[in-house]
Amino acid sequence: MKPTVLVIDDSALIRLQLKQLFHRMDWHVVAEAASGDDLLALYEAHRPSLVTLDIVMPGKDGVTAATELLQAHPEAAVVMCTSLTSRDKIIACQRAGVLHYLLKPLEPARAEQIFRHAVNRQTAVAS
Amino acid sequence: MNLAHEHVRAFLDDAASVLRSMVGTQLARRIATDERVISILVRARGALSGFTWTFSPEVAERVATHLVPGTAPDPQLCEAAASELANMLTGRGLQTLAERGLVLEIEPPELSRGGAPGATYVVDTDVGVVSVTIHS
């Protein structure tokens, strides 16, 4: 079965870039959103293999959304895709249980490697 | 507050590394006068109140096709590309500024309707001009 992905980013262009990347990986993007506001509901509706999450977005920011998601669903595989280099944000994401922190602009080969690692790791933990 | 020259230089060094990887760049000494430019405001809270980045449409198109190869960038996609580039350029330098005592939280980029006073710095790329106005 194909891995499934939930993409959360306020940039339509980045969502397009990620969908193109996941299409090449033969993964299925089940839903996308431009804010962290609906992350929990979308996760519970789709139970994706992977969540990619931006940090600076209108409404609920990515760190808050990731923290809430991982408190409710510690099994979720979350990778941040962000432009922020701020150390406090990176530490906050680590504390929340985020698996990886990818800096934009995304380098496709590296991003693919990270996404596969995140899903493989969560699959191994679950089994 | 006026931002010290060495802080600006360090911030722009980070921005230049992003531009170099995406569109190719060299430093320039001129200011864009192209009326077609796309200006993006990234509001900030903390030591500064924001950054306005200005891009030529050619830069935005190059970024759009870099991020999504094979795409035919329309004006809407170019605005999205400019917004995302402004986000990347600002975000990349935040830790550098924080290490120099300038701690900021930034907000999502928005199309700028212009006007706020600030100091403007210019970077020339192989395909057009990028400038940033730092609002004190």
Tell me the pLDDT tens digit for each residue of B19-55.
Answer: 777 876 665 544 444 456 788 999 999 989 999 898 8
Does B31 lie at the interface with A, CB-CB under 8 angstroms? no
B66 contacts in chain A (CB < 8 Å) = 105
Q: Determine contact, residues B51/B90, Cβ cutoff 8 Å.
A: yes
pLDDT of A117: 96
pLDDT of B27: 55
Does B10 lie at the interface with A, CB-CB under 8 angstroms? no
Q: Which of B66, B68, B91 lies at the smallest CB-CB distance from A16?
A: B68
pLDDT of A123: 80
pLDDT exceeds 60 at position B2: no
Check if the interface score ipTM surpasses 0.90: no
Q: Determine contact, residues A42/A73, Cβ cutoff 8 Å.
A: no
Q: Which of A57, A85, A105 lies at the smallest CB-CB distance from B67?
A: A105
Q: Which of A56, A92, A17 is nearest to B22 (CA)?
A: A17
pLDDT: which is higher, B125 or A76: A76
**What residue type is assigned to position A47 of the chain?**
R
Provide the mean pLDDT of chain A: 95
Token reading at A108: 């496709």
Q: Do A56 and B91 touch (CB under 8 A)?
A: yes
Q: Which of B22, B69, B80 lies at the smallest CB-CB distance from A12?
A: B80
pLDDT exceeds 60 at position B119: yes
User: Percentage of chain B with pLDDT > 90?
Assistant: 38
Does B120 lie at the interface with A, CB-CB under 8 angstroms? no
Q: Which residue of A has its CA nearest to B11?
A: A85
A85 contacts in chain B (CB < 8 Å) = 14, 91-96
Tell me the pLDDT tens digit for each residue of A69-116.
Answer: 999 999 999 999 999 988 999 999 999 999 999 999 999 999 999 999
- Burial class of B70 by CB neighbour count within 10 A (0 to 12, 13 to 18, 19+): exposed
A62 contacts in chain B (CB < 8 Å) = none
